[in-house]
Amino acid sequence: MSTSLDSGWFTEVFDSQGSAFSLKVTGKLHDVQSDYQHLEVYATETFGNLMVLDGCVMLTDRDNFLYHEMIAHPALFTHADPKRVVIIGGGDCGTLREVLRHPGVERVTQIDIDEEVTRAAERFFPALTESNDDPRAELAFIDGVRWVDEAEAESVDVLIIDSTDPVGPAEGLFTTDFLRRCHRLLRSGGVMVQQSESPLYHSGSIIHSLRRDMREAGFDSVATLPFPQPVYPSGWWSVTLAGKGREVNDFREQDAREAGLPLDYYTADIHRGALALPPFMRRAFD
């Protein structure tokens, strides 16, 4: 992975796949080296503000709703009655906002090691942080792996791993050992969801390994849901769900249809369709 800024274009180069993605920028708004990563925010011509971590595109104003809705709502509508939700990562707070759209959720804890991400989101992506003052929300800027280790067993209904790519600060979130600790944290009937990279680039590698490791960690069922994400490598992304004593290939479809949430991508039909994987993905998982 490499980046360049040339003639007013921000370009993220995905070297291993011989591909790149570019956005025309009109200026740099923010640049800080935190204790964990290099964070930049740019203004773009057509995608609004752009957040970049260690040279990798994290989100834009224009299309972040795709990712945030798909990492949150499928998991919440798969669980029978989610009350206690934990988000590991998610420092931009977009996933937190989506979780808090569910009135039945009683408490959400977001754990992100890098407070700079949240502070930048508050300044440059205020729509994503509009629910941060919700009394059900708790923000903790600590190591997510350590938090999982120290949390009470069987205390969480839905666990969302909203991480960056499996390198640097997020590397520890893609291991079988960590998944076992997540399994311990969930109550019976609990659901875990993790961002799982590009179906086109990673079905036979990262996604295949994550699904296998989830089962080895004790989860009873897994499901990978692909969805469009223009600013990420290949323009296509995925989340993978795992259930503890729950089948994650089924969900509360009628509840999803009747929820009336103010969303831009997720619907019950989108959820049902995302569960129908194309043949090349199914072959990669065999």
**Segment 29-78, tens digit of pLDDT:** 999 999 999 999 999 999 999 999 999 999 999 999 999 999 999 999 99
pLDDT the model gives residue 170? 47
Q: Is the pLDDT assigned to residue 168 strictly greater than 70?
A: no
How many helical (H) and strand (E) elements, i.e. helices and strands, does the chain have?
10, 13
Say what percent of the chain tops pLDDT 90: 91
pLDDT of residue 52: 97
DSSP β-ladder status, 56-60 and 19-33: unpaired
**Residue from 63, 92, 114, 162 carrying the catalytic annotation:** 162
Q: Are 189 and 158 in contact (CB under 8 A)?
A: no
CA torsion sign for 36, 203, 93, 151 is negative
Q: What is the rounded distance in angstroms from the CA atom of residue 229 to the CA atom of residue 162? A: 15
C-alpha–C-alpha distance, residues 107 and 98, integer Å: 13
The SS3 of residue 162 is strand
**With 80 as the cut, is the pLDDT of residue 2 above it?**
no
Q: What is the mean pLDDT of residues 155-184?
A: 79
Region of residue 282 (phi > 0: left; psi between -120 and 50: alpha; otherwise: beta): alpha
Q: Is 155 helix (H, G, I), strand (E, B) or coil?
A: coil
pLDDT beyond 50 at 22 = yes
Helical (H) or strand (E) element with 126:
none
* In the predicted structure, residue 222 carries a pLDDT above the cut 60: yes
Checking if the pLDDT of 1 tops 60, the result is no
For residues 219-234, average pLDDT? 98
Q: Is the pLDDT of residue 9 over 80?
A: yes
Say how far apart CA 94 and CA 90 lie, in whole Å. Answer: 7
pLDDT for residue 236:
98
Question: Per-residue pLDDT averaged across 95-119, rounded?
Answer: 98
Q: Is 162 a catalytic residue?
A: yes
Q: Which residues of 125-157 are buried (b: 16+ CB within 10 A; e: fewer)?
A: beebbebbeeebbebeeebbbebbeebeeeebb
What's the average model confidence in pLDDT over 110-117? 97
Q: Name which of 7-16, 43-52, 118-127 the model is least confident about.
A: 7-16
- Report the percentage of the chain scoring pLDDT > 70: 94
Question: Of 112, 117, 110, which is closest to residue 33 (Cα–Cα)?
Answer: 117
